[in-house]
Amino acid sequence: MRPAGAIKVLMRSLLFSMLVVAALSAEPGKQTFRGVITDSMCAQANHSQMQMGPTDAECTKACILEHGATYVLYDGHAAYDLSDQQSPEKFAGKRVTISGTLNPKTHTIQVNSIAAAK
């Protein structure tokens, strides 16, 4: 192999390695999550056991206020902790769309926005 050709191969390998490292170390981007705002005590949005109020929304709020639970998003399969614990109150017991970033280690969504599901 001629020296110029060897340099090209080396440069391509170096560039490829840099791209792989950058891709692996990049922060995950914003995602969209859909589900029901509920509480960590009734994480599957089934409030029939607790009966802290006549509606799911009232039970959720009661669990937050009286039992120290936190707001979570339940997507039908898993419950995700939410970084924002003020905004979810007005959506308690309702289907929402959340824009944010999931931390897979803590199972927490860093919330950017919450809106009623369409």
Q: What CATH code would you report for 31-116?
A: 2.40.50
Mean per-residue pLDDT for 12-27?
Answer: 54
Nearest-10 Cα torsion for 53, 55, 60, 61? -70
Distance, in Å, from the CA atom of 107 to the CA atom of 86, rounded to the nearest integer, reads 19
pLDDT tens by residue, 25-84 = 445 578 999 999 999 988 776 666 656 677 889 999 999 999 899 999 999 999 999 999
Residue 20 has pLDDT above 70, yes or no: no
Does residue 118 or residue 19 have the better pLDDT? 118
Distance, in Å, from the CA atom of 48 to the CA atom of 76, rounded to the nearest integer, reads 16
Domain ranges of the chain: 31-116
Query: What integer pLDDT is reported at residue 94 of this predicted model?
Result: 95
Claim: this prediction has a pTM higher than 0.75 = no
Residue 15 has pLDDT above 60, yes or no: no
Residue 2 has pLDDT above 90, yes or no: no
The dihedral built from the CA positions of residue 28, 30, 34 and 35, taken in this order, carries a sign that is positive
Mean per-residue pLDDT for 4-21?
Answer: 60
Q: How confident is the model at residue 18 (pLDDT cuts 50, 70, 90)?
A: low
